[in-house]
Chain A
């Protein structure tokens, strides 16, 4: 079955370290998104991509970067992790025809100590 997977599911890191969260989907969706979920804020968009080599900043993009070298993957990199980036991160993808129905991965819980 086609799916979207995130790894790792849990990560603990130290302030200042570079961290990369993986997102892989097998639906062949062009659109991919990264969100963070924090208490009192719901899900907030970090970065998104509408296709290979396309990346765009979302609402809370500072301190994060993404790259899209193929259709299946959109890794999220924290260049220098900060305690404020402790959160649950969700990756999502959507097909062209039903663009606004996004399908989510199970999430990565990141703790920055």
Chain B
């Protein structure tokens, strides 16, 4: 059973606009969340993370929001650029439980249209 879900397989956005990628999780033990970006023929690369003690983390154009009560997180990219076109994976772990394993969502393919 998928514990981390990304219900939108794809998203298209105009260059300069905001991209919002969504992720839901079911396991209440998850307390650390990450976003990875993946280009074709490359491995996933770490983008941004957030601990459950926060509800927002920002790094340049990338912001992750966490809503623990809804078990939902989102990644905002502002402004979107053509180089942001990639597959984005949401991942979660139960860090306080001592688990180093990551559970990944199925990914959302973002296309930024010039």
User: What interface size band does chain A fall in?
Assistant: 20 to 34
- Residues of the B chain whose Cβ atoms lie less than 8 Å from the Cβ of A104: 36, 43-45
The A interface is mostly helix, strand or loop, or mixed, namely strand
The answer to whether A100 and B45 have CB atoms under 8 Å apart is no
The answer to whether A45 and B43 have CB atoms under 8 Å apart is no
Of the residues B32, B46, B89, B105, contact of A103 by C-beta under 8 Å: B46
Chain A residue with Cβ nearest B105: A42
Interface residues of B in 92-114 (CB under 8 A from A): 93, 95, 100-107
The answer to whether A100 and B89 have CB atoms under 8 Å apart is no
- Residues of the A chain whose Cβ atoms lie less than 8 Å from the Cβ of B70: none
Alpha-carbon separation in the docked complex, A96 to B63 (Å): 25
**Closest Cβ–Cβ distance, residue A88 to chain B (whole Å):** 9
The answer to whether A40 and B101 have CB atoms under 8 Å apart is no
Which A residues contact B (CB, under 8 angstroms)? Answer: 4, 31, 33, 35, 40-45, 48, 50, 58, 90, 92, 94, 99-107
A-B contact pairs, 21 of them (CB 8 A): A31-B100, A33-B102, A35-B104, A40-B106, A43-B89, A48-B101, A50-B100, A58-B101, A99-B95, A100-B49, A100-B93, A101-B34, A101-B46, A101-B49, A104-B36, A104-B44, A104-B45, A105-B43, A107-B41, A107-B42, A107-B43
